Amino acid sequence: AQKITQTQPGMFVQEKEAVTLDCTYDTSDPSYGLFWYKQPSSGEMIFLIYQGSYDQQNATEGRYSLNFQKARKSANLVISASQLGDSAMYFCAMRPLTGNQFYFGTGTSLTVIP
């Protein structure tokens, strides 16, 4: 069975500080992709960053980086230098090679405090 777990329903961070959003996953597939999406109050789902299960290095995209620990099956998102516009829901998702669909976690609501 495929499962994504996000244990932090809500997080607060001071503007300009870094914050880590947790994500663990469960799959028996040896090959899979991990994705993070941002969903502001407007409702659109915005792709942030991708990590492949066989990637040797942690992914980075601007202020976003992924702390990928394969043995622990965790793929935590790190947002550096938080901005007020980062306030949103954040979803972790996994796409296993088998099945090809995306499995989402329940999300973390991030609030950036000025």
Partner 1 sequence: GAGVSQTPSNKVTEKGKYVELRCDPISGHTALYWYRQSLGQGPEFLIYFQGTGAADDSGLPNDRFFAVRPEGSVSTLKIQRTERGDSAMYLCASSTDGLRSEAFFGQGTRLTVV
Residues that bind partner 1 (CB under 8 A): 4, 6, 31-33, 35, 37, 43-45, 47, 50, 52-53, 91, 93, 95, 97, 99-107, 109
Q: Which helix (H) or strand (E) holds 35?
A: strand 32-39
Closest separation in Å from C-beta 45 to partner 1:
4
Please, which residue, 1 or 114, has the CB nearer to partner 1? 1
CA end-to-end span of the chain: 41
How far apart CA 61 and CA 38 sit, in angstroms, is 14
Please, which residue, 17 or 39, has the CB nearer to partner 1? 39
With vertex at residue 72, the alpha carbon angle to CA 10 and CA 38, rounded to the nearest 5 degrees, is 35
Cβ neighbourhood burial of 93 (10 Å; 0-12, 13-18, 19+): buried
Closest separation in Å from C-beta 44 to partner 1:
6
Please, which residue, 75 or 93, has the CB nearer to partner 1? 93
3-state secondary structure of 52: strand
Please, which residue, 36 or 86, has the CB nearer to partner 1? 36
Closest separation in Å from C-beta 103 to partner 1:
7
